[in-house]
Amino acid sequence: MPGPTCYIRPMTASLLDLRNIRKTYPSDGKTLTILDGVSLKLDAGETVALTGESGSGKSTLLHLAGGLDQPDAGQVRLNGQDIGTLDDAARALVRRDRIGLIFQQFNLVPSLIIAANIALQARLAGRHDAAFCAELAARLGLSEMLSRYPEQLSGGQQQRVAIARALAHRPALILADEPTGNLDEETGDAVLTLLLELVTETGAGLLMVTHSPRLASRLSRHANLSRGRLEGI
Amino acid sequence: MLYAALQSLSSHWRRHPGQLVMLALGLALATALWSGVQAINAEARAAYDRAAATLGQDQLSRLEQSDGQPVPTAEFLALRAAGYLVSPVISGELREGGARLRLLGIDPLTAPTETQSPTLTGDTDIADFFTAPGLLLVSQATADGDLPLGLPPLRIAENVPPAAAITDISTAARLLDQRDPSYLLIAPDQPFGLAPITDATNLTLRSPEVGSDIARLTDSFHLNLTAFGLLSFGVGLFIVHAAIGLAFEQRRATIRTLRALGTPLRTILLALGLELAAIAALAGLIGILLGYVIAASLMPGVAGTLRGLYGAEIEGVLRFNPDWAIAALAITLLGTAVAAAQAMVRTAQMPLLAPAMPRAWAQASGRALRLQTLAAIALFTLAAALAVFGTGLYAAFACLGALLIGAALALPAVMTSLLSLVRPKGAFTEWIVADTRQQIPGLSLALMALLLALAANIGVSTMVGSFRTTFLGWLDQRLASELYVTAATPDEAEELMQALAPDVDAILPIVSAPTRLFDRPADVFGVVDHPTYRQAWPFLAATQDAWDRVANGTGILVNEQLFRREALSLGDVVPLADGLPIVGIYTDYGNPNGQAIVSLTRFAETFPEDRPRRFAIRIAPEDTPALATRLRTEFGLPADAVTNQAQVKAFSVDVFEQTFRVTGALNVLTLGVAGIALLTSLLTLADLRLPQLAPIWAIGASRATLAKVEMARSLALAAITFVFALPVGLALAWILLAFVNVEAFGWRLPMQVFPADWLLLLALALLAAGLAALGPTLRLARMPPARLTQVFAQER
Query: pLDDT digits over B220-261, tens only?
Result: 566 666 776 777 777 777 777 777 877 787 788 888 888 888
Domain that holds residue A109: 4-231
Minimal-distance CA residue of chain A relative to B266: A89
Can you tell me the distance from the alpha carbon of A195 to that of A187, in angstroms, rounded to the nearest whole number? 12
* Facing residue for B259 by CB, picked from A92, A112, A125: A92
The answer, for B786 touching chain A at a CB cutoff of 8 Å, is: no
CA end-to-end distance (rounded Å), chain B: 29
B211 pLDDT band, cuts 50/70/90, is very low
B21 pLDDT band, cuts 50/70/90, is confident
What's the average model confidence in pLDDT over B472-500?
80
- Chain A residues lying within 8 Å of B260, measured CB to CB: 66, 68, 95, 101, 103, 107
Are A75 and A84 contacting, i.e. CB atoms less than 8 angstroms apart? yes
B142-199 pLDDT per residue, tens = 787 777 777 888 888 776 777 788 888 888 888 888 888 888 888 878 888 888 887 8
Are B513 and B524 contacting, i.e. CB atoms less than 8 angstroms apart? yes
Minimal-distance CA residue of chain B relative to A103: B257
B576 pLDDT band, cuts 50/70/90, is confident
**Cα of B189 vs its chain's centroid, Å:** 42
pLDDT of residue B219: 63
Chain A: closest CA distance from residue B349 (Å):
12
Mutate to test the interface with B, among A93, A109, A117 (most CBs of B within 10 A): A109
- For residue B790, pLDDT beyond 80: no
C-alpha to C-alpha distances, B630 to B97, B450, B500, B622, B627, nearest whole angstrom: 19, 59, 10, 14, 5
A6 pLDDT band, cuts 50/70/90, is very low
- Chain A residues lying within 8 Å of B1, measured CB to CB: 1, 96, 124-126
- For residue B509, pLDDT beyond 70: yes
pLDDT of residue A47: 93
Can you tell me the distance from the alpha carbon of B444 to that of B678, in angstroms, rounded to the nearest whole number? 9
Chain A: closest CA distance from residue B222 (Å):
46
Say whether A88 and B262 touch across the interface (CB within 8 A): no
Can you tell me the distance from the alpha carbon of B78 to that of B202, in angstroms, rounded to the nearest whole number? 12
pLDDT of residue B358: 39
Count Cβ atoms below 10 Å from residue B383 Cβ, excluding itself. 23
B430 pLDDT band, cuts 50/70/90, is confident
Are A180 and A49 contacting, i.e. CB atoms less than 8 angstroms apart? no
Please report the residues numbered 172 through 231 in chain A whose beta carbons come closer than 8 angstroms to any beta carbon of chain B. Answer: none
Closest to B727 in 3D by CA, of B328, B312, B414, B351: B414
Please report the residues numbered 10 through 39 in chain B whose beta carbons come closer than 8 angstroms to any beta carbon of chain A. Answer: 11-16
Closest to A176 in 3D by CA, of A157, A191, A154: A191
B668 pLDDT band, cuts 50/70/90, is confident
pLDDT of residue B315: 65
What's the average model confidence in pLDDT over B2-14?
84
Are A140 and A160 contacting, i.e. CB atoms less than 8 angstroms apart? yes
B720-731 pLDDT per residue, tens = 889 999 999 999
Which are the contacts of B250, defined by CB distance < 8 A and separation ≥ 6? B12, B16, B687, B688
* Facing residue for A110 by CB, picked from B15, B262, B265: B15
pLDDT mean across residues, chain B: 79
CATH code for the domain in which residue A182 is found: 3.40.50.300
* Facing residue for B353 by CB, picked from A63, A108, A123: A63
Chain A, chain B: beta-carbon pairs less than 8 Å apart:
81
Can you tell me the distance from the alpha carbon of B775 to that of B299, in angstroms, rounded to the nearest whole number? 36
Can you tell me the distance from the alpha carbon of A195 to that of B689, in angstroms, rounded to the nearest whole number? 36
Can you tell me the distance from the alpha carbon of B568 to that of B278, in angstroms, rounded to the nearest whole number? 56
- Catalogue the E-assigned strands of B480-555: 483-486, 506-517, 520-527, 539-542
Name, of A43-52, B664-673, B776-785, the range with top average pLDDT: A43-52
pLDDT of residue B459: 84
3-state secondary structure B73-94: HHHHHHHHHCCCCEEEEEEEEE
- For residue B794, pLDDT beyond 60: no
* Facing residue for B264 by CB, picked from A89, A99, A109: A89
pLDDT of residue B379: 92
* Facing residue for A89 by CB, picked from B253, B266, B356: B266
What's the average model confidence in pLDDT over A218-222?
91
* Facing residue for B262 by CB, picked from A95, A108, A149: A95
Amino acid at A41: K
Task: Residue count of chain A, please give it.
Answer: 233
What's the average model confidence in pLDDT over A16-29?
86
**Cα of B4 vs its chain's centroid, Å:** 48
B619-633 pLDDT per residue, tens = 888 888 888 888 878
What is the phi/psi pair of residue A177, to 5°?
Answer: -105, 100
Say whether A69 and B352 touch across the interface (CB within 8 A): yes
Can you tell me the distance from the alpha carbon of B108 to that of B130, in angstroms, rounded to the nearest whole number? 9
Chain B: closest CA distance from residue A56 (Å):
17
Number of domains in chain A: 1
Q: Which is more confident, A109 or B547? A: B547
Which residues are bridge partners to A207 per DSSP? Answer: A48, A175
- Name the maximum alpha-carbon separation found in chain B: 105
Of all residues in chain A, the percent with pLDDT exceeding 70 is 94
Range name among A107-116, B116-125, B506-515 with the lowest pLDDT average = B116-125
The answer, for B512 touching chain A at a CB cutoff of 8 Å, is: no
- For residue B361, pLDDT beyond 50: no
**DSSP state letters, B601-640:** HHHHHH-TT----EEEEE--GGGHHHHHHHHHHTS---GG
Are B681 and B412 contacting, i.e. CB atoms less than 8 angstroms apart? no
Chain A: closest CA distance from residue B765 (Å):
35
Closest to B671 in 3D by CA, of B131, B232, B91: B232
Name, of A36-40, A102-106, B42-46, B50-54, the range with top average pLDDT: A36-40
B325-352 pLDDT per residue, tens = 888 888 888 888 888 888 888 888 877 7
Closest to B262 in 3D by CA, of A161, A189, A126, A81: A126
Burial B424-455 (b: 16+ CB within 10 A, else e): eeeeeeebbeebbeebbbbbbbbbbbbbbbbb
Are B143 and B99 contacting, i.e. CB atoms less than 8 angstroms apart? no
Can you tell me the distance from the alpha carbon of B546 to that of B571, in angstroms, rounded to the nearest whole number? 11
Are A24 and A191 contacting, i.e. CB atoms less than 8 angstroms apart? no
**Cα of B657 vs its chain's centroid, Å:** 13
Are B47 and B142 contacting, i.e. CB atoms less than 8 angstroms apart? no
Can you tell me the distance from the alpha carbon of B237 to that of B719, in angstroms, rounded to the nearest whole number? 23
* Facing residue for A109 by CB, picked from B8, B13, B793: B8
- For residue B323, pLDDT beyond 60: yes
Closest to B772 in 3D by CA, of B242, B364, B281, B248: B242
SS3 content of chain A, % helix, strand, coil (to 5): 40, 25, 35
Count Cβ atoms below 10 Å from residue B309 Cβ, excluding itself. 22
SS3 content of chain B, % helix, strand, coil (to 5): 65, 10, 25
A148-189 pLDDT per residue, tens = 988 888 888 888 899 899 989 999 999 998 888 777 788 788
- For residue B475, pLDDT beyond 50: yes
A144 pLDDT band, cuts 50/70/90, is very high
- For residue B2, pLDDT beyond 60: yes
pLDDT of residue B308: 59
- Chain B residues lying within 8 Å of A69, measured CB to CB: 352-353
B417 pLDDT band, cuts 50/70/90, is confident
Chain B: closest CA distance from residue A118 (Å):
12
C-alpha to C-alpha distances, B464 to A43, B40, B252, B732, nearest whole angstrom: 81, 21, 47, 12
- For residue B511, pLDDT beyond 80: yes
Q: Helices (H), strands (E): how many in chain B?
A: 27, 18
**Cα of B500 vs its chain's centroid, Å:** 45
